[in-house]
């Protein structure tokens, strides 16, 4: 018993590290590609007058000439010395990434060691998805998370704006989407489900929900653009669409009795009105979101009502389809062509691989990694987002000490060990655009809870996406996380308590004598 108490005390002592009195590139997340630290300390001026930026200098251009185009755009060189700070970059985006690295050093401690950094990202897509349908958190929350992503040198925010539990985007042509299905009874998805899927309006005292106006979206997109972050909207189809059928039952599947099925999970692919609806909605979406990608969902279509829908059966007969699954491929290809003609590229969850994948569509692999591996091997661009590693709605510590969550434990260590290129033939590495962490919010109704699930695991996703695989090491990363947790809390973010993380979460092991265990 005495030995156990001593070991426990020692472990607690090393787990609660003391923050360094001097900051530098060895303290920040993501870890830079190359850096050095010299003797001397510099304290930044508050007005920024000691920071000099040089764009497209011949010497720096030569230094980055062999990098992929996306890496050139974000590459930077940063030096801190006796006379202040110098930043070299090819673009304003690269200079901004340098400023964010400098800002993270400053936030850790105003005393910054003389140092030199040469840096660029490993992957071009480094993102976080926020599920605003199941849990509407609002504009201020989104702007706050954009600031966090910018500090972490991430560059994509994916907003899941439509799903059965609520439509979250103003569409002028279809006002009932926000008048009638943006508000529900039940704070969590499962409460709403247990009550029989009741929608209501904003005036109801029991109402939970809300939506983004077009002005909200314009403000969010502009704010993100200033921080060199792109916003990807997701308009879910054909599954996860009960709210559309409830708002506009005239385009829902129709049974033999001639009655619409407004509780149907899926859009009716047999109804021409469905395509008019989607095209009209997407025209308004295109006007709001300038980034080249639009996510169309494509996951978890139930397809049950398609079997009994007179319009779906008619469509299958007219198109020579032999199986209901072909209806999904028909819709995806139609929408992909519609968006491509308007200069947009479709992203879909990996189910779209199974029903006739359009040549230019990008696959987001969520059901583990097989869908992404298959798509890449067939020549399609892929964003890796496997639920086996980067689903942030999963438990991050022992179930008994955490708020109710989904799935098994995916601790910070588990997330950090993911490599998006694992299992991918080197011949197809160029098709892996990057990775994304997903925060689904069926059980997360409030902003503070969402932040608790995001941080620090988003730190790991940032480093996976930026730092070379061979330079990543968990124990040093975790020490930096402890520093950054303190910084994030000082800025008002509600983070997971990494200082009191369980032994099981830290190590994946329960025994101190396990040879893979290392005191932190």
- Burial string for 198-236 (b: 16+ CB within 10 Å, else e) reads ebbeeeeeeebbbbbeeebbeebbebbeebbbbbbbbbb
Q: Which of 299, 300, 326, 378 is catalytic?
A: 300
Cα separation, 517 vs 315, whole angstroms = 59
Integer Cα distance of 309 and 412 in angstroms: 46
Beta carbons of 480 and 435 less than 8 angstroms apart: no
Q: How many residues does the chain have?
A: 520
Q: Do residues 382 and 433 lie in contact, with contact meaning Cβ atoms separated by under 8 Å?
A: yes
How far is residue 465's CA from residue 435's CA, in Å, rounded to a whole number?
7
Give CA separation, 266 vs 10, 142, 261, 298, in Å.
56, 28, 10, 10
Q: Which one from 163, 350, 397, 463 is the annotated catalytic residue?
A: 163
**3-state DSSP assignment of residue 472:** coil
Catalytic residue among 125, 158, 228, 240: 240
Active site residue 300: yes
DSSP string, 76-109: EEEEEETTEEEEEESSHHHHHHHHHHHHHHHHH-
Which secondary-structure segment (H or E) carries 346? strand 345-349
- To the query of whether residue 111 is one of the catalytic residues in this protein, the response is no
333 SS3 class: helix
Check if 158 is active-site: no
CB 201 within 8 A of CB 291: no
How far lies 115's CA from each of 82, 94, 325, 405, in Å? 10, 18, 58, 42
In sequence order, the β-bridge partners of residue 295 are 234, 347
CA dihedral 26, 30, 34, 40 (to 10 degrees): -30
Q: Where are the alpha helices (DSSP H) in 403-508?
A: 412-416, 447-454, 457-466, 474-490, 503-507
The terminus-to-terminus CA distance of the chain in angstroms comes to 22
Among all residues, which ones are annotated catalytic? Answer: 163, 240, 300
């Amino acid at each position: 018993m005495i030995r156990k108490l001593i070991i426990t005390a020692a472990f607690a002592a090393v787990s609660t590290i003391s923050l360094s009195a001097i900051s530098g590139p060895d303290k920040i997340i993501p870890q830079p590609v190359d850096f050095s630290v010299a003797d001397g300390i510099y304290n930044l001026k508050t007005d920024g007058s000691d920071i000099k930026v040089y764009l497209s200098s011949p010497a720096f251009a030569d230094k980055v000439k062999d990098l992929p185009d996306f890496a050139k755009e974000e590459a930077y060189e940063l030096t801190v010395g006796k006379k202040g700070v110098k930043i070299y970059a090819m673009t304003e985006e690269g200079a901004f990434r340098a400023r964010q690295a400098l800002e993270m050093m400053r936030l850790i401690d105003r005393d910054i060691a003389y140092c030199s950094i040469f840096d660029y990202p490993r992957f071009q897509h480094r993102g976080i998805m926020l599920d605003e349908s199941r849990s509407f958190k609002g504009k201020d929350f989104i702007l706050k998370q954009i600031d966090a992503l910018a500090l972490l040198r991430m560059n994509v925010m994916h907003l899941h704006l439509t799903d059965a539990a609520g439509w979250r985007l103003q569409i002028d042509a279809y006002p009932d989407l926000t008048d009638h299905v943006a508000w529900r009874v039940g704070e969590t998805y499962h409460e709403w489900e247990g009550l029989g899927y009741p929608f209501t309006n904003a005036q109801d005292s029991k109402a939970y929900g809300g939506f983004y106006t077009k002005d909200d979206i314009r403000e969010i997109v502009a704010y993100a653009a200033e921080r060199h972050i792109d916003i990807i909207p997701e308009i879910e189809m054909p599954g996860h669409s009960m709210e559309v059928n409830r708002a506009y039952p005239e385009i829902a599947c129709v049974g033999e009795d001639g009655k619409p099925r407004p509780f149907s999970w899926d859009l009716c692919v047999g109804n021409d009105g469905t395509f008019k609806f989607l095209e009209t909605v997407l025209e308004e979406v295109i006007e709001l979101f300038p980034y080249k990608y639009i996510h169309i969902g494509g996951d978890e279509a139930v397809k049950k009502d398609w079997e009994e829908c007179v319009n779906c059966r008619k469509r299958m007969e007219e198109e020579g389809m032999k199986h209901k699954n072909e209806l999904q491929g028909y819709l995806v290809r139609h929408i992909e062509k519609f968006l491509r003609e308007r200069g947009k590229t479709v992203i879909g969850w990996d189910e779209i691989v199974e029903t006739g994948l359009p040549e230019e569509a990008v696959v987001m692999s969520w059901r583990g990694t097989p869908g992404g591996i298959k798509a890449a091997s067939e020549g399609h661009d892929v964003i890796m987002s496997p639920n086996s590693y980067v689903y942030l709605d999963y438990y991050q510590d022992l179930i008994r000490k955490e708020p109710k969550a989904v799935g098994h434990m995916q601790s910070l260590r588990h997330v950090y060990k993911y490599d998006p290129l694992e299992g991918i033939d080197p011949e197809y590495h160029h098709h892996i655009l990057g990775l994304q962490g997903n925060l689904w919010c069926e059980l997360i109704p409030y902003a503070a809870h969402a932040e608790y699930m995001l941080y620090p695991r988003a730190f790991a996703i940032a480093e996976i996406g930026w730092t070379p695989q061979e330079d990543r090491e968990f124990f040093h990363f975790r020490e930096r996380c402890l520093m950054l947790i303190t910084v994030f809390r000082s800025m008002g973010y509600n983070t997971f308590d990494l200082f009191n993380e369980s032994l099981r979460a830290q190590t994946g092991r329960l025994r101190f004598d396990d040879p893979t265990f290392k005191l932190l």
